[in-house]
Amino acid sequence: MRIVRHSAVVAAAVALSACSLDLQNPNAPTEEQVTTSVDGVIALATGLQSRFATSYFSFAYMAGLVTDEFASTTAALISISDAEQGAVPSGTAIAENVFNSIYRTVRTADDLLTGSNALGDQLDPGTRSGLRALAFALKAEALGEALQSYQKIPINTFGETAPTYVTRAEALTYVRALLDSAAATIAATPPSTLFNTSILTPGVSLPNVIHLFRARYARIARDDATALAAANLVARSGPTALSLLTFPAPTVNPYAAVTGGTNGIAPRRQWRLSMLPQDQRFTYFVVPSTTATGRVGALLDPWNRYANPQSPLPVYFPDEALLIKAEALANQNQLAAAQAALDSVRTDCTGGRGIDDPKACLPPLGAQLTQAQLLTEIYTQRRYELLGTGLRWEDARRRNAIRGPAAAPAVPVEGQRCWLPYAIGDRNANPNATFSALPDPAEPSTFPSGCVV
């Protein structure tokens, strides 16, 4: 009897005292574990760079579909072949994805900012500087992609439940301020070796990325002086001139992930056929085809550069800096200098600057072009140099070249629509984004047209 009682007492006491109700989730790290530890914050920085690749691609994919760049492959969903013809009804998943993906990137950037601040002295100044500059730059680019897709966008979202939407002008100011913060941060405290070798993706130059982004958004804001200055700071040769995101297996280059299947897209053949016959840039991007057709009959060229799942993805094409420079100079009426910059892009050929980027191998322009001719030529060169970056859409917008939906078999020319409909995912839960509070912008009714901002 004594044994029974003793063992019962012991069993009950031990068992009941073991029953703490504060359990940790062993399957996923919690906010506290991630944002308050050095390892966690460093992993956030890697996560943010992954998010950048994802949301940049979501944006570029959609922008390519509603311009003249991409069309769906045969097995693609109907919503994708609708989008390639300029029809993007509210709630279309691929359009929703642009918004949701961008703001998840923004959230990760904000988590990284919060985490790197909270760590205080646990981080050396150079590492914190690098982390903060990375967060500023990629948050800015994400919001920049948003303002190239939506007429109005929310900019203050961290800790909010109902973010408010602001105009493009206000958003652009905010994006540029973030980029200036990024530049100022690394100027004040250069990133540490730890940051550069173990946190930043190998093959990426953060200063060059920041300067390129500054030039990109200065151009969109038509701030020629800043665009020129920033573009001049982007290295055009040497090992830092090309910033590449790498995709070691099992990760996959996002373009390679959509060469087939229900999300499959490919460049329209017209992109290649519309080039000057001597222009060699198609060899960088596509494999010429005479047979590839899409879901609704679009003529396609399969990807070359991105066909391999492990092929790297440039953060930007280095000649974008030259093209921004040429445009800023042309706008400032420095036509000869503008033409020289443009020729530098046109004549880039094998050997050139020693960078693996698209090479036109065209002859120089020759006689001096007028300002209008130069701007048109810059627009043309941007089309062939920057395929798949999503920048084509904003170019069409600023050239008042929105030409309306082009139902198959017609081949779209330039841009087909001004904006994406606002995301239902935000409308459903954000009182500032209901259909009445935030109607979808009206698309132009006559073409060609610019866009109401």
Partner 1 sequence: MGQQRPVFQRRVGDPMTMKLVRLATVAVFTLLASSQALAQTGTVRGRVTDADAARGIADVQVMVNGTRIGGVTGADGAYTLTAVPIGVRTVTARRLGYQPATQQVTVPAGGTVTVDIAMQVSALNLSEVVVTGSGTPTEKRKIGTSVASVDSTIISRAQALTVDQALQGKTAGAQITQNSGGPGGGGVSVRLRGVNSFISGSDPLYIVDGVIVDNGSAQLADLGGRSNPQNRLADLNPADVERIEIIRGAAAAALYGSRANNGVVQIFTKRGNIGRPRFTLTTRAGLAELREQQPFNFYPFDAAGLPVSRFNYQNDIFHRASQTEHNLTIEGGNDQTRYYLSGNFADEDGIMRSTSSRRAGGRVNLQQQLTPRLIGSITANYINTNNQMQAFGEQNDYGIMGSLFFAPTQVDFRPVNGIYPLPPALGTNPLLAIARIRNPQLIDRFIGSTKLTWTPLTSLLFDYTIGIDNTGFEQRQFVPRNAVLGTAPLSTGRSQSIFQATRVINQDGVASYTWQPLGAFELKTTGGLNYTSQHVRTTNAGATGLAPVGELVSAGSVPFAGQTEVELRTLGFYAQQEASWNDKLFLTGGVRFDASSTFAPSERWQAFPKFSISYVAIDNEAGSLNNLRFRGALGWAGSQPGIVNAYSQFITFVNVAFAGRPGFINDITFGNPNLRNERAREWELGGEAGFWDGRIAAEVTYYDRMVDDLLFFRPLATSTGFSRQFSPIGSMSNKGVELLLRTTTYDTKDLSWSTTATYTQNRNRVESLQIQDFQSAGGYPNRIRAGLPAGVFYGSYAARHCVTGALLVDSLGRYRRSNQTVDMGATLAARQAISGGTCNDSLNKVIGDPNPSFMASLLNEVTIANKLRVRLLLDGVFGNDIMNLSTRAQNAGIASNSKEYERELLPYGDPRKLPPGFNARTQGIFEYWIEDGTFVKLRELSASYTLDWEPIRRRIPGGVDLTLSGRNLWVWTDYSGYDPEINLFGTNAGGVGSVQTTAADRGFDFGGYPIPRVWSISARISY
31, two tokens: 């906010």
What is the C-alpha to C-alpha distance for residues 352 and 355, in angstroms, rounded to an integer?
A: 8
Phi, psi of 245 (to 5 degrees): -90, 135
- Contact window for partner 1 (CB under 8 A) among 123-131, 158-166, 214-222, 291-299: 158-166
The yes or no reply on residue 4 touching partner 1 (CB under 8 A) is: yes
What is the C-alpha to C-alpha distance for residues 109 and 124, in angstroms, rounded to an integer?
A: 19
The yes or no reply on residue 117 touching partner 1 (CB under 8 A) is: no
Number of residues that bind partner 1 (CB under 8 A): 71
Kindly tell me which residue out of 30, 167, 193, 370 binds partner 1, with binding defined by CB under 8 A: 30
Residue placing its CB nearer to partner 1 in the complex, 11 or 410: 11
Q: What does the DSSP 8-state code read for residue 390?
A: S
What is the C-alpha to C-alpha distance for residues 221 and 209, in angstroms, rounded to an integer?
A: 18
Q: Which of residues 250-289 bind partner 1 (CB under 8 A)?
A: 250-251
Q: Which of residues 298-317 bind partner 1 (CB under 8 A)?
A: none
Kindly tell me which residue out of 106, 296, 338, 420 binds partner 1, with binding defined by CB under 8 A: 106
CA-wise closest residue to 80 among 255, 292, 272, 261: 261
- Does residue 418 contact residue 444 with C-beta atoms inside 8 Å? yes
The yes or no reply on residue 98 touching partner 1 (CB under 8 A) is: no
Minimal distance, residue 74 CB to partner 1, in Å: 13
What is the C-alpha to C-alpha distance for residues 37 and 39, in angstroms, rounded to an integer?
A: 5
The yes or no reply on residue 247 touching partner 1 (CB under 8 A) is: yes
H/E element, 314: strand 313-314
What is the C-alpha to C-alpha distance for residues 396 and 391, in angstroms, rounded to an integer?
A: 9
The yes or no reply on residue 38 touching partner 1 (CB under 8 A) is: no
The yes or no reply on residue 118 touching partner 1 (CB under 8 A) is: no
- Contact window for partner 1 (CB under 8 A) among 15-23, 171-179, 326-334, 342-350: 15-23
Angle, helices 206-220/319-331, rounded to nearest 10 degrees: 30
- Contact window for partner 1 (CB under 8 A) among 232-240, 324-332, 341-349, 421-429: 421-429
Minimal distance, residue 242 CB to partner 1, in Å: 15
Residue placing its CB nearer to partner 1 in the complex, 41 or 230: 41
If DSSP codes are grouped into helix, strand and coil, which group holds residue 245?
strand
Q: Which of residues 181-240 bind partner 1 (CB under 8 A)?
A: 201-202
